[in-house]
Amino acid sequence: MNGSPMTPPMAKRAAKIFREHGRERVDWYYWMRDRDNPEVRRYLEAENAYVENLLAPFAALRDGLYAEMVARLKEDDSSYPYSYGNYFYYTRTVAGGAFRIHCRKLGSLDAGEQILLDENQLAAGHDYFHVGHVAVSPDHRLLAYLVDTQGDERYELRFRDLQAGADLPGRIPAVEAGSVAWANDSQTVVFATLDALTRPYEIYRIRAGAAASTATRLLSEADERYFLFVHRCLSGRFIVVSAISKVTSWAAVVDANDPESGLRVLAPPREGVEYSVEHQGDRFLILTNRDAPNFRVMQAPTHDADWAAWRELIPARPQVYVMDLLAFSAFVALLIRRDGQPAVEILDCRRGELHAVAFSEPVFEVDFGANMIYEATSVRLGFESPITPPTTLDYDMATREQWVRKVLEVRGYEPEAYRSERVWAPADGGALVPISLAYRRDLADGSAPRPLYLEGYGAYGFPLPVSFSQAKVSLMDRGIVVASAHVRGGSDLGRSWYDDGKLLRKRNTIGDFAAAARHLVHSGRAIPGRLAAYGASAGGLLIGAVLNEHPALFEAVIADVPFVDLVTTMLDPTLPLTVTEWEEWGDPRDKVFYDYMMSYSPYDNVGPRHYPHVLLRGGFTDPRVPYWEPAKMAAKLREHTTSGKDVLLLTQLAAGHMGASGRYERFREVAANYCFILWKLGLAGVPPAVDRAVFREEVAGGLQ
């Protein structure tokens, strides 16, 4: 056994034997699931201490990375305000404050500031703290907000009187993070609650400040495949309840003018058909895959939106994947993907014209920003790229003019010193896998091989974002090429790209990632032996599978909250997410799926191999990927590796799936990750290419 801090003897005494489909599996580390066992806690603490001991000689590098990240941060900053009613709303941060302050001004940006919510004050005394959705009532007198103090994503719904500046007495536990919507009486809210497995499964209505026991249940979804979510239409006319599984979805509405009227289902579920709803004028706009794999936009009258009433508004286009829409009074904004790139299209409903918004960079992300005015003729967008910091844009949908409202200031960063591009890697079945690259122009011109840091995900149809990371500047400044492989399983190239990387085609995801890494080496862009890989959650499953199938491909890998114990988890319906995940990975109670999943399940395929350096991370309160999955994987890898290279485990004992809370603690986590990567790639002594500004004394003092 290599480099083990401790291996509790009870591991061998508490082995779990599984017998499935005529096959026997023995899990020597099953005992780690007992979170209430003090020995489990001691073991995780010992693993953490072991990592800290190994990283101790690199304290200067680790602290230096953290200092660089903080130095780039404009600590006193604010978001660009958005207009809602007579107010301008925004958030800001202050030096030393780890969390946001929510503010507004009445009538003018020159007016005095009113602080609505100071997350720094609320976070005091909590090891973990996160604010979910924040929603102001239509009359701007009350605030509904959601708080998680455990990292288990079971948010508490609270209400605040904005005139008094104090919370109302009623609080509702176990609410979904983003599912709260106000009715037009500014007293009633509709929200989604969680079951014991953290599935949003019931919809309630309550008056702000009332006791939780007074809430009225509007819907309870017994089918465990479905998650329920709530949002308020931009028009303010309806509150939409969406029931979503991996392959089927349907919607119901609450009349925002008459919230006590109950729910009205628009079109009942049809297996394999997905749809979502927005409201415009006298019609609903319906985004659906009905007879359109890449989705199209339909319309139906508000008084009758059943299946037979649907009429096509924007037809399906084979090369255009429609992902989201936003309905204004006279325009519809579409968020699409074309040729692997995100894009925005605008439908002028008066003229019936559809046009695209132009963006100049070769690799970028764009999304809807804060849009609160239904009658607006401009749409707020968020734009960024691997080399362009987050940028707030306003686009006039009528004149087609575009304004840059704010670019996030990143101190000491000069975008022109960096370059981004996209290349394509050949993979199995004739597929071409897009790869996004970013690097310093003076250290890597795109042709000379350099050390490489490659990320991947490839699940749930989520496109892998190519957003800006000021932390990754520290890697690029040390000559590392930062890359993202847009493998099958995501929807980067449309819905078929997703379908080709799920269920009985999941191995395409693994092959694509390996193909991307090999292409970058064979094309002379990456140095063999200087490759690192990173994946989180389902991306951690990808990394774990690549470890087993291509152990020599990377020198160092990080699997963050990795879903690696696939088969055991998918056979346990008492765990959060399992039932709904059967539509993504397959149900292993079926032997066909069982055999296929066993062929790549990371934990089940660990064996005597020359594994690279591995760092696994977990969160003790994680409801999505239990902490024991990375813990078990680390122990099994350490038992079987023949390379003598390090297998390390770090567990956040006061956090969940999203890691530590607060911007400074997140930087500390990333600094530890990058320290590990630089160490294992032999770059621990490589200084950054640019001299960073000297930090203010109070910041530098905080690093001690």
Provide the edge-to-edge strand list for the sheet that holds 391-396.
365-368, 378-384, 391-396, 402-407
Q: What is the pLDDT of residues 319-353, one digit of tens each?
A: 999 999 999 999 999 999 998 899 999 999 999 99
Which of these is catalytic: 436, 469, 537, 601? Answer: 537
Listed range (251-260, 291-300, 574-583) with the worst mean pLDDT: 574-583
Q: Both tokens of residue 36?
A: 């209430």
Active site (annotated) includes residue 657:
yes
Active site (annotated) includes residue 643:
no
Query: Taking 80 as the threshold, does the pLDDT of residue 659 lie above it?
Result: no
Q: Do 590 and 607 fall within a single domain? A: no
Query: Taking 50 as the threshold, does the pLDDT of residue 700 lie above it?
Result: no
- CB under 8 Å to 289, separation ≥6 — which residues? 273, 274, 275, 295, 495
Q: Is residue 508 part of a domain?
A: yes
The DSSP bridge pattern shows strands 331-338 and 341-348 to be antiparallel
Q: What is the pLDDT of residues 305-320, one digit of tens each?
A: 999 999 999 999 989 9
Task: State percent of the chain over pLDDT 90.
Answer: 89
Residue 588 banded pLDDT, cuts 50, 70, 90: very high
Q: Do 362 and 444 fall within a single domain? A: no
Q: Do 609 and 578 fall within a single domain? A: no
As a residue count, the chain comes to 704
Q: Is residue 586 part of a domain?
A: yes
Residue 685 banded pLDDT, cuts 50, 70, 90: confident
pLDDT of 339 reads 86
Q: Do 514 and 612 fall within a single domain? A: yes
Q: Do 627 and 664 fall within a single domain? A: yes
Per-residue buried b or exposed e for 66-99, using 16+ beta carbons within 10 Å of the residue's own CB: bbbbbbbbebeebbbbbebeebbbbbebeeebbb
Out of 440-444, 579-583, 589-593, the most confident range is 589-593
Q: What is the pLDDT of residues 258-274, one digit of tens each?
A: 999 999 999 999 999 99
Q: For residues 303 and 291, is the Cβ–Cβ distance under 8 A? A: no
Query: Rounded to whole angstroms, how far apart are CA atoms 131 and 118?
Result: 10
Q: Do 524 and 615 fall within a single domain? A: yes
Last residue of a domain, one of 409, 430, 450: 409
Query: Rounded to whole angstroms, how far apart are CA atoms 61 and 274?
Result: 49
pLDDT of 13 reads 55
Which of these is catalytic: 27, 152, 500, 622? Answer: 622
Q: What is the pLDDT of residues 51-81, one digit of tens each?
A: 999 999 999 999 999 999 999 999 999 999 9
Query: Rounded to whole angstroms, how far apart are CA atoms 605 and 566?
Result: 11
Query: Rounded to whole angstroms, how far apart are CA atoms 652 and 24?
Result: 33
Q: Is residue 305 part of a domain?
A: no
Q: Do 675 and 559 fall within a single domain? A: yes
Q: Is residue 543 part of a domain?
A: yes
Q: What is the pLDDT of residues 219-239, one digit of tens each?
A: 999 999 999 999 999 999 999
Q: Is residue 141 part of a domain?
A: no
Q: Do 553 and 464 fall within a single domain? A: yes
Q: Do 526 and 674 fall within a single domain? A: yes
The whole-chain average pLDDT of the chain stands at 93
Query: Rounded to whole angstroms, how far apart are CA atoms 481 and 437?
Result: 7
Helices (H) and strands (E) in the chain, counts: 14, 39
Task: Tell me the CATH number at 521.
Answer: 3.40.50.1820
Last residue of a domain, one of 585, 601, 617: 601
Last residue of a domain, one of 601, 620, 655: 601
Q: Is residue 692 part of a domain?
A: no
Calculate ∠ Cα 278-281-287, nearest 5°: 25
Q: Do 500 and 587 fall within a single domain? A: no
Q: What is the pLDDT of residues 89-113, one digit of tens each?
A: 999 999 999 999 999 999 999 999 9
Q: Do 499 and 629 fall within a single domain? A: yes
pLDDT of 690 reads 59
pLDDT of 576 reads 83
Q: What is the pLDDT of residues 488-528, one digit of tens each?
A: 999 999 999 999 999 999 999 999 999 999 999 999 999 99
pLDDT of 704 reads 26
pLDDT of 137 reads 98
Q: Is residue 372 part of a domain?
A: yes
Number of domains making up the chain? 3
Task: State percent of the chain over pLDDT 70.
Answer: 95
- Bridge partners of 220, per DSSP, are 202
Query: Taking 90 as the threshold, does the pLDDT of residue 692 lie above it?
Result: no
Q: Is residue 650 part of a domain?
A: yes
Domain that holds residue 394: 317-409
- Bridge partners of 204, per DSSP, are 191, 217
Which of these is catalytic: 378, 646, 657, 661? Answer: 657
Q: Both tokens of residue 616?
A: 């696994």
Name which of 393, 291, 292, 372 is nearest 336 in CA terms.
Answer: 292
Q: Do 421 and 546 fall within a single domain? A: yes
Q: What is the pLDDT of residues 412-462, one digit of tens each?
A: 999 999 999 999 999 999 999 999 999 999 875 555 679 999 999 999 999
Long-range interactions of 219-223: CB distance < 8 A, separation 24+: 219/252, 219/263
